[in-house]
Amino acid sequence: MTTRPRPDGLPERLAGEGTLVIGVLNVTPDSFSDGGEHFDTADAVAHGRLLSQQGAAIVDVGGESTRPGAPRVDEDEELRRVIPVIEALAAEGVVISVDTMRSSVAVASVAAGALIVNDVSAGRADIDMGGEAARLRTRLGTPPVFIAMHWRGHSDVMNELAVYEDAARDSATELEDRLTALREAGVEDRFLVADPGLGFSKTGEQNWDVLADWEGIASHGLPILIGASRKRFVSSLGVDRDAATAAISAYSAEHGAWAVRVHDVPSSLAAVRVGDRLRGNARR
């Protein structure tokens, strides 16, 4: 199946052929990698600005940790964390994605300037998410881009759910079921992005199995987001986790990913340039 190269609904400057780098901005006290580092609003805005200056095409703002075992935060607290940051960065022209599983947070975030809704549950955690995403309009006059990830359950139970006959095949099938549900709720394909959910309800070996099966990752015919940055299966290699993440970014770009979501922007920006060049040479 031919993979759609990129979604509609984003500024024209993001319409090139290369793989984009999305910078992670966790406005949380407990994220697995950088929890607490940018919990203050001013610190978060400053870091989001830095990510953009370093070359991140998009900054992904999240107010709820999805690390294994993390407790959920309530709606009001999630809104308190992310909305001022989104408003400030969007006002400076930064393209913002909101990382949320709540439709109410998605609605408020788009009103604050976000152009992308990144739902790790693909609408499973909030049955209203798909319909709300279809009805929303961003400042560009279109629905937000909707990133749908393979997900089986919340952080407190996800490790118990890593049981598959074939992790790559099963996760692709389950994600396709969620994409079908989102389409039925009114989300159009041209605004959808597929994420295989590395690190979510998968063992270390299962993550590698999923990543190695690019045919399965691309089977939805949608733009692809890869989020491997600093995750446990990457750290287990015994090398610098940002360097290992960059290697996965190069691999993803060479295979035609729309974007990679990372904590360290400069290393992955260099990596996707290499991957894009290799992919370009392969087409000649």
Task: Read off the pLDDT of residues 196-238 as tens digits, 9 standing for 90 and up.
Answer: 999 998 999 999 999 999 999 999 999 999 999 999 999 889 9
Using one digit for the tens of pLDDT, what is the confidence trace for 120-156? 999 999 999 999 999 999 999 999 999 999 988 787 7
Given pLDDT bands bounded at 50, 70 and 90, which one contains residue 4?
low
- Residue 283 pLDDT > 70, yes or no? no
What token pair was written down for 175?
């994600």
pTM: 0.93
Catalytic option among 261, 273, 279, 283: 261
- Nearest CA among 60, 253, 56, 75 for reference residue 145: 60
Give dist(CA 112, CA 95) in Å, integer: 12
Q: Where are the beta strands (DSSP E) in the chain?
A: 20-26, 58-62, 96-99, 116-119, 145-149, 192-195, 225-226, 259-262
Give dist(CA 263, CA 60) in Å, integer: 10
Catalytic option among 6, 202, 230, 231: 231
Residue type at position 48: G
**Average pLDDT of the chain, as a whole number:** 92
Cβ-contact 102, 119 below 8 angstroms: no
261 is catalytic: yes
